[in-house]
Amino acid sequence: MTEQGGDAARETEHDFAGVDDGFERLWTPHRMAYIVGDKPTKEAGQGCPFCAVPHKADAKGLMVHRGTHCYVVMNLFPYNPGHLLVCPYRHVSLYVDLTDEETEEFTLLTKQAIRTLEAASEPHGFNLGINQGAVAGAGVAAHLHQHIVPRWAGDSNFLPIIGRTKALPVLLEDTRVSLVECWPE
């Protein structure tokens, strides 16, 4: 159906129903909780996922290791299998606000996480990073956390770049169990 307007025919919305647009769709409704969920504020509490995790059972919270001042947790929305976060228990947003004891354990757990990932999945390299502030890319800017992302040759392809889709070949819980088993005593 077209409407005539002057010399040119104009298509209406009825012309498109059922027409293949050439796009494949990967439906991920579970991500809506992240997109529309309450965003953490500068205050600690129920709105902060990193304050909530230590109060959950390890498997439910994706906890890998509990230290004295900091802990290691799986990223709920990983870039790659084994994507870990090192977080202080205390609700602080900036690295410079950590105490000396927290900083020491933060660093120690980062090193242990790298060694554990090497033992569990033999990555070819790592991305380590702290994004401080929303403008720097922090999804949860109110609670400091460091990313440890294992990398393998060829782990990125056109999917994340063109299709904004990441294929993850291992389930979170399977990866968590493997990491817990490999964590140094």
The verdict on whether 55 is a catalytic residue reads no
User: Of the candidates 69, 74, 166, 61, which has an alpha carbon nearest to the alpha carbon of residue 117?
Assistant: 74
Phi, psi of 117, rounded to the nearest 5 degrees: -60, -40
Nearest-angstrom CA–CA distance, 145 and 71:
10
45: left (phi over 0), alpha (psi -120 to 50) or beta: left
> What gap in Å lies between CA 128 and CA 149, rounded to an integer?
6
Candidates 65, 143, 145, 147; catalytic one: 145
| Structure tokens that stand for 36 in this block | 């529309």
CA distance 173 to 53: 15
Distance CA 32, CA 49 (A): 15
Instruction: Indicate the SS3 state at residue 85.
Output: strand
List, by residue number, the catalytic residues.
Answer: 145
